[in-house]
Amino acid sequence: MRTHDPQFADPLAFGAVDPETAEYTARLEALIAQGPPVHTIAPKVIRAAREAGRGLWGPLVRSPMAVDRELAGVPVRCFVPPDPRGVYMHVHGGGWMLGGAHHHDPRNAHIALACGYAVVSVGYRLAPEHPYPAAPDDCEAVARWLVAHGAKEFGTARIALGGESAGAQLALVTMLRLRDRHGYNGFAGINLTFGAFDLAGTPSQVRWGARDLVLSGPTMKWFYDAFVPEALRRDPDVSPLYADLRALPPAMITVGTLDPLLDDSLFLYARWRAAGNAATLDVYPGAPHGFTNLPIAAAEAAHARIDDFLKGL
């Protein structure tokens, strides 16, 4: 387990919380407390507010670099630099219910230009209108298209996957589906940022309770209930922590200690390494779920570490 900057040293101690991280986390929690809990609002209302710039992370910023396309019948948002060295299939978060590919334009444009990847961000179908398996089916379809046509389309056969929160779960499920259903095991690597890898509930999820810091116990239940029936939540296609993780590429796993999904990342890292794969786990003391969206040094450090990982594939 490593960190990018000495000020975040020794994350295993879980002690030295950067003052800036603590300050912004407190602000975020206070801001969330001013409104009704997310799980009490209709998804269409939340979506409309976010599109109007009233979301938790502020107004949306659209990149002029982005091009909207459709691959395998699925809408995607593409960012293509000159002479890409690889393709990065990005999957956005939002509890399988919220968000969109265009919500990540600044970061995806940065990855395209700074890391040299053609970024393809997937606009998968959202629950509750389209529950499981709609979202993973859409991601699988785009990944299969990239495997078949990526070299001709982008000039490179190197493909990496990645996502945040629910998007990390979908990215990993996509990798496993390509391996197990289609015999493809050639992905260069996978970037998993504060992902949900056990929808049956890891200890950190179960113990989190009602505290509302981007996620809360009731909000996670709301997301899970809308996405998939409880009877399926230990299926590896839903909770990849239960999957066979052997013979997989290098993984970059990022999470903060003040995240109910902390154990999802800790456990996945342990299983990834035990299966004989390379992995890096970066844990940021005091950082909440979604911390990479905050204007703090911890977010900059996490982005820099992820950039280095993608450049090194």
Question: What pLDDT does residue 58 have?
Answer: 86
Residues 6+ apart with CB under 8 A from 235: 242
Check 92, 102, 289, 303 and give the catalytic one: 289
Residue type, 127: A
Residue 114 — very low, low, confident or very high, per pLDDT cuts 50/70/90? Answer: very high
What does the CA dihedral 271, 190, 170, 51 come to, rounded to 10 degrees? Answer: 140
Edge-first strand order for the sheet with 74-79 is 67-71, 74-79, 117-122, 86-91, 159-164, 189-193, 251-258, 279-288
Among 14-23, 46-55, 93-102, 189-198, name the one with the lowest average pLDDT: 14-23
Residue 10 has pLDDT above 60, yes or no: no
The reported pTM is 0.95
Residue 4 has pLDDT above 50, yes or no: no
What length is written for the chain? 313
Question: What pLDDT does residue 284 have?
Answer: 95
Residue type, 216: S
Active site annotation includes 149: no
Residue whose C-alpha is closest to residue 113's, from 259, 307, 313: 307
At 179-203, the pLDDT tens digits run: 999 999 999 999 999 999 999 999 9
Residues 6+ apart with CB under 8 A from 65: 79, 105, 109, 112, 113
At 147-172, the pLDDT tens digits run: 999 999 999 999 999 999 999 999 99
How much is the average pLDDT of 253-270?
A: 97
Domains of the chain (ranges, CATH numbers): 6-311 (3.40.50.1820)
Active site annotation includes 259: yes
Residue 310 has pLDDT above 50, yes or no: yes
Q: Which two tokens stand for residue 258?
A: 């003040």
Residues 6+ apart with CB under 8 A from 68: 75, 76, 77, 78
Beta bridge partners of residue 161, listed in sequence order:
89, 190
Share of the chain above pLDDT 90, in %: 93
Check 259, 263, 264, 282 and give the catalytic one: 259
CA angle 223, 17, 256 (to 5 degrees): 25
Question: What pLDDT does residue 48 have?
Answer: 96
Residue 13 — very low, low, confident or very high, per pLDDT cuts 50/70/90? Answer: very low
Cβ-count burial of 202 within 10 angstroms (0-12 exposed, 13-18 middle, 19+ buried)?
buried
Q: Where are the alpha helices (DSSP H) in the chain?
A: 19-33, 43-51, 105-115, 134-154, 166-182, 203-208, 217-227, 262-274, 297-311
Question: What pLDDT does residue 152 have?
Answer: 97
How much is the average pLDDT of 140-153?
A: 98
Residue 7 has pLDDT above 90, yes or no: no
Residue 131 has pLDDT above 50, yes or no: yes
Tokens 């902390």 belong to: 262
Check 165, 204, 216, 265 and give the catalytic one: 165
Residue 55 — very low, low, confident or very high, per pLDDT cuts 50/70/90? Answer: confident
Q: Cα-atom radius of gyration of the chain, to the nearest Å?
A: 18
Residue 14 — very low, low, confident or very high, per pLDDT cuts 50/70/90? Answer: low
Question: What pLDDT does residue 166 have?
Answer: 98
Residue 15 — very low, low, confident or very high, per pLDDT cuts 50/70/90? Answer: low
